[in-house]
């Protein structure tokens, strides 16, 4: 239970801090958070020295990187969905990839963090504090 509590509290704390200092005014903040979150499973695989697991985890990470870029260049709602989707991936990760480097508490913590971050970004978008589309701030390909 503690990993869930810490994950959600930390995600809310990071969201409030980002709001306070203005990090989240930039459309790149939450897509970057998504990429960093997705990279940890690759790190855990590297820590155990399994090239096969690094490749598998990198393939999964690539999906979230694509979503982060699509959300940055298109609709930020893609990032909300991808953060929530990463939470789902955390819940089933052990059934997808056998990664002995993942701490036992990590999937629960990361699931809670991901859902909290998705909720924070959704709240920002609903309040219209950050433009939901790249066109509204002049981001082009």
Q: Considering only 1-15, 73-87, 98-112, 116-130, which range has the smallest mean pLDDT?
A: 116-130
pLDDT value of residue 131: 60
Find the mean pLDDT for residues 115-130: 88
Kindly report the three-state secondary structure assignment for every residue of the chain.
CHHHHHHHHHHHHHHHHHHHHCHHHCCCHHHHHHHHHHHHHHHHHHHHCCHHHHHHHHHHHHHHHHHHHHHHHCECHHHHHHHHHHHHHHHHHHHHCCCCCCCCCHHHHHHHHHHHHHHHHHHHHHHCCCCCEHHHHCCCC
Find the mean pLDDT for residues 63-88: 97
């Amino acid at each position: 239970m503690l990993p869930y509590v810490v994950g959600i509290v930390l995600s809310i704390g990071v969201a409030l801090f980002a709001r306070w200092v203005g990090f989240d005014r930039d459309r790149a903040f939450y897509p970057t958070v998504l990429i960093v979150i997705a990279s940890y499973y690759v790190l855990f695989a590297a820590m155990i020295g399994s090239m096969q697991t690094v490749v598998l985890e990198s393939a999964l990470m690539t999906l979230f990187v694509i979503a982060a870029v699509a959300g940055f260049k298109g609709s930020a709602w893609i990032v909300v969905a991808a953060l929530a989707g990463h939470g789902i991936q955390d819940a089933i990760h052990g059934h997808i990839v056998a990664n002995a480097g993942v701490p036992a508490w990590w999937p629960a913590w990361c699931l809670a963090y991901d859902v909290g971050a998705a909720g924070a970004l959704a709240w920002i978008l609903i309040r219209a504090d950050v433009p939901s589309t790249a066109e509204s701030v002049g981001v082009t390909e």
